[in-house]
A and B are shown apart, each in its own frame.
Chain A
Amino acid sequence: MPATQLSHPLFESDNRHPISLPTFTPANITQDMIGQAVHFAELPNDPIKFYGTPKPLLLEYRLLSRRASVIRDVTVQTARLLDEAAQKSSKDTRIAITGSSGSGKSVLLLQAVRYCLENDWVVIYIPRAKSTVNSTTTHTYDLRTRTYLQPEYASQILRRILGVNSKLLSDINTKQSLSLERRQIPAGTSLSELATIGVKEQQLATVILDALMNELSAQKKYPVLLAIDDFQAIYKERTIYRDPHFAHIRPYHLSMPRLLLEFASGQRVFSQGAVLGAVTNTDPLFPISNELMWALGTERIHPTSPYDKMNKTLVEYTAGLKNLEVPAQFSLPEASAVFEVWMKDRAVSAPINDELFLSKYTESGGHPRSFVWKGLLATLDGEIPKYDPEVPWPQLREAVVV
């Protein structure tokens, strides 16, 4: 059968109309908007486009016609924390978002990133921090810093920071000149020009990223958000990288993780801003380390004792981190908002009624990921078949439902 004769609406995937939802704006993050679904509008400096998202979110956004998310109680709580942090040093607002697997930590982090972006913050978002420690980018030992530099990653992150924050960065000028081996960058250069140099010359990228972070720390024009997903990956004592003697390289001996650890521990601070990290529970290569669990006071999976070894340096790097726990259950209004989004996108095959919603909510216990993936999208219920007496063969007629 030729494709043009497939007229059933099920085949009309190209003619999908995006569902109508309110946009995610800072004004929408209030107590009365809890349980309301909103979507992340396309922006020219969209952080989702430039920085990317963690893989589960990416897959979900491929299915949906809009990049939707629901405003929860924790969203409003985080927004208020960030409003206070805009006036304070980042040393006072260093938060690790924890919670059970699939409870919405990465989504909350993404909501925080969008909230700050639209409130004129400089936003640095690292959606997959494990790519800094899993031996996927070049690393070269540098005698000056006594660490392993990651020039390709630094250049890439500079390009992304520039893509999202170019307007704000061109408004800030460097206060100190930067003298490199073969180059001199005078004081008064705009940060966007500085970042462009790092993007073009990869061997200078790490030094320039360091200088850019120093300048951002010192300036008071715009608050800065450093958002890290896969936060636990940088706290694993042994990274996948190996040194020339085949020993595992520690995360604080690699340039990118060291930068993130220094800001997370308050050793380097932004004059105004915050550091947010979302933890991933489901990566067996990078489990949450003892040091991080002890610092955050999270519930342990295995019994612990005072004899458990902890790396002293990593314990120093966890100093002052606060825990923000995401509830493992959707409330009924939140779940119904999520249900409506998937229903409007024609993703639910079963007949839409209260019975379906409550049954899926109960089966999943309100757990966000299970409610969507194992409840709504995995249901085998279909439309109730209609009895048609005109079908010629009686054995093919559907049964009459009394």
Chain B
Amino acid sequence: MTTLTRQDLNFGQVVADILCEFLEVAIHLILYVREVYPSGIFQKRKKYNVPVQMSCHPELNQYIHDTLHCVKPLIEKNDAEKVVVVIMDKEHHPVERFVFEISQPPLLSIRVDNNTSAISDTLLSHVEQLLRAVILKISVCDAVLENNPPGCTFTVLVHTREAATRNMEKVQVIKDFPWIVADEQEVHMQEPRLIPLKTMTSDIVKMQLYVEERAQKAS
């Protein structure tokens, strides 16, 4: 076992890739489970060796893909604290917030395959197993949440550390896909109920998923 810092092995990039892939699947699944979009646009696909629902709508897919593409550099540098999927009602008041809290340990010892200097397969399969559990939990989160009112929309917020957002405004990662500072009403919810869903701890990343739900959803 070799002790490495984040600079070695392009470690940040590996973690960012894994997390962004996972977040893409998770966002699609949240949209499916919470019925933000009709279930007809979703198609069964396979990820982490289990069936998941992914949308077929090209613009929706493009939007989610571009969003995560911009989030990736933040995760690489460990600037992203939380990624939040906010579901809003017709008046753009949030009714639910799925919060993915992400943290990466600064100095860590990770299992490395000495021959290829790659992150070991056992570690990756362990991470896959944990992500599978989070996916499963999202699939059945209906049990602990109230139904949403019809006509909901969604957005993705990123909470960053320090001044990372200033860098984002300077450098547009994707043209015509600007990021703006979120409104206060999108960030804070009135009378939220906190429902923890899943915690995931591994050598390379720690993640916690919980839901903030508005007490009275029907406006």
The answer to whether A and B come from one shared complex is no
